[in-house]
Structure 1
Amino acid sequence: MTLHIIDRMAVEDEGEGDAVVCLHGLGGTSNTWTPVMQALAGYRVIRPDLPGSGRSAAAGGTLTIEKLVEAVLAVCARLNVSRAHFLGHSMGTIVCQHLAAAQPRLVRSLALFGPLIAPPETARGNIRTRAEKARNEGVRGMHEIALALVNASISADTRQRLPVPTAFVRESLTRQDPEGYARSCEALAAAPAAAVERIEAPVLLMTGDEDVVAPPQSVRAMAERLTGAKSVRTVVLPRCGHWTPVERAEDCVRELKSFLPAQR
C-alpha cells in the first residue's frame, strides 16, 4: 500500500487493475472500506480520507459537496485515473452521484451503501446542530455524538451481537477532529441533490432494513429516479442499520463480487 498526500488529503493506493475509488461518509475514513477489501482483489483500490476527516487536514473556509467533488477529481488527476468504479457510503454516495452526473466518462459504475440523494429538510437542522456541538464542545462533544449515533445509526442486532463493528463505528466517530467533523456536517446539511436522472453508469444500491438515514422506501424511490442508468439493483439487508459495509461485510462482499466484474 502507498500513502499519498494530495492537497493535504491522505490517500491510500493499493493493488493493480481497474481503479476503484472508495468514498466514506460523515464520521468515516478510508477504513470504512476495510471490511469489504476482499471483494476488491484484482483492482487498484484508492481510498482517500476526505478533507477534514481522518488523517486529512480540514479544508479552509466552508466545506461543501462541490469542494469534496473537486477534491476527488484532484485525486483522480494526480493518480492518473481516467475511469473508475466508485464506491460510496452515506455522504460519500452524494459525492459519487455528483461525479457520475457531471463526469460520466470518469465513472464506470456506482456501488452506493446507505445511499441518499440529499438529506431531507427535517434532517438538515439536526445535522447543523451536531456541527455546533462538535465545534463548541470539542472532544467531549464528539464523545456524546458518537454514543448517540451508535445507538441510532446501527441496528439493534449489530449492537447486541457484533461488538467489533459496534466498536469500529464508535472509534471512527470519536477519532474525528471536532472542527473537521463540524465542517463535514455543514457540507452534508447544505448538500444539493445531483441530477441523478443524468447518471448513465450501472448502479448498485445497498441499505439496511433498520437504516434511518437511507430507509428502504427512500432507496427504492431513488432507484426509480435513476432512469438513465444502464442498470439498477437494490438490495435491502436484514437486521442492518446505516453502516452497511461494517455491519454486514459478508453480504456487501458477496454483492460487490457479483456486481463489479459485470461492469468490466
Structure 2
Amino acid sequence: MTFHLIDRVAVEEEGDGPVVVCVHGLGGSSNTYTPLMPALARHRVVRVDLPGSGRSQSVEGALSIERYVETLLGICDRLGITRAHWVGHSMGTIVCQHIAAAHPKLVASVALFGPLIAPPDAARTAMHARAAKAREGAAGMQEITQTLLQAAISADTRQRLPVVVAFVRESLMRQEGDAYARSCEALAGAQAAAVEQIEAPVLLVTGDEDGVAPPQAVRAMADRLHRAASKRVVVLPKCGHWTPVERPDECQRELREFLATHDRVQRIQ
C-alpha cells in the first residue's frame, strides 16, 4: 500500500489493474471500504479520506459537495487516473453522481451503497442541528454517536454483530467536532446532480431498514437514470444504512460481479 498526502488530504493506493476510486460518507473514512477490499483484489484501489474526515480533518475552510468533487478530480490528476470505477457510500454517492454526470470520460461505472440524490428538506434541517451539536465537542459527538447507532444500523446488526456496532461507533467518535460539523453542513447544502445525464453502468445497493436511502427512494432514483448503460437495484434484508459494514459478504458479491462485467466491457471496447 502507498500512502499519499495530497494538499493535506489522505489517500491510500494499493493493487494493480483497472482503477477503483472509493468515496466514503458522512462520519466515515477510507476504512468504510476495508470490508469490501476482497472484492477489489484485481484492481488498483484508491481510497480517500475526504476533507474534514478521517486523517484529512485538518483541512480548513467550508466544506461542500463541490469541494469534494474538486478534491477528487485533483487527486485523479495527480495520480494519473483518466478512467475509473467509482464506489460511493451515503454522502459519497452524491459526490460520485456529480462526477459521473459532469465528467463521463472519467467514469467506467458507478456502484453506490446507501445512495441518495440529495437530502430532503427535513434532513437538511436535521443536519444543521447535528452540526451545532457537534460543535459542543466530545460530549456532543458522544450524543450524536449514540443516536446514530440506533438509527443508522439495523436491529439485526445491533443484536448479532457487535463488532459492526463497534466499527461504526469508533468511526463516528474519531471525528473531531468542528470538522464533522462542517461535513454535516456540506451534506445539508448538497444539490442534486443531473442524474438523467449519467451514461455509465450503475449499481444501487441499500438495506431494507435504511432510513437515509429507503428502497422506494432508491428504486425511484433508478427510474431517473434514463441514459445509464445498465442499472441494478439490490435491497439487502435486515440491513441499515452502513451497508458495506453491516453486510460485507453480500456487498462483496454484488460489487465483484458488477466490476467483472464492466471490466470485460472495457477490454472489448
TM-score (norm 1): 0.99
For structure 2, the 5+ residue unaligned runs are 264-269
Q: Displaced runs of 4+ in structure 1, greater than 4 A?
A: none
Aligned partner of 1:210 in structure 2 is 209
Aligned partner of 1:199 in structure 2 is 198
Task: Give the root-mean-square deviation of aligned CA atoms.
Answer: 0.7
Aligned partner of 2:65 in structure 1 is 65
Counterpart CA distance in 1 for 2:69 and 2:245 is: 24
Aligned partner of 1:42 in structure 2 is 42
Offset, 1:177: 1.3
Offset, 1:106: 0.2
Equivalent runs, 1:200-239 vs 2, <5 Å: 200-239=199-238
Q: What fraction of aligned residue pairs are identical, expressed as a percent?
A: 67
Equivalent runs, 1:1-264 vs 2, <5 Å: 1-135=1-135, 137-264=136-263
Offset, 1:261: 1.0
Offset, 1:60: 2.9
Counterpart CA distance in 1 for 2:59 and 2:197 is: 29
Aligned length, in residue pairs: 263
Which amino acid in structure 1 is aligned with residue 173 of structure 2?
T
Counterpart CA distance in 2 for 1:152 and 1:7 is: 34
Which amino acid in structure 2 is aligned with residue 85 of structure 1?
H
Counterpart CA distance in 2 for 1:227 and 1:221 is: 12
Bigger shift: residues 54-63 or 44-53: 54-63
Counterpart CA distance in 2 for 1:29 and 1:98 is: 19
Counterpart CA distance in 1 for 2:186 and 2:77 is: 23
Q: Secondary structure at the match of 1:204?
A: strand
Q: Secondary structure at the match of 1:111?
A: strand
Which amino acid in structure 2 is aligned with residue 213 of structure 1?
V
Q: Secondary structure at the match of 2:31?
A: helix
Counterpart CA distance in 2 for 1:58 and 1:150 is: 26
For structure 1, the 5+ residue unaligned runs are none
Which amino acid in structure 2 is aligned with residue 240 of structure 1?
C
Does structure 1 retain, via aligned residues, the 8 Å contact 2:9–2:59?
no
Counterpart CA distance in 2 for 1:177 and 1:19 is: 31
Counterpart CA distance in 1 for 2:18 and 2:66 is: 26
Counterpart CA distance in 1 for 2:142 and 2:60 is: 24
Q: Secondary structure at the match of 1:47?
A: strand
Counterpart CA distance in 2 for 1:60 and 1:173 is: 19
Counterpart CA distance in 1 for 2:175 and 2:160 is: 25
TM-score (norm 2): 0.97
Offset, 1:127: 0.7
Query: Residue deviations 1:127-151, cap 9 Å, x none?
Result: 110001111x111111110110010
Offset, 1:58: 4.1
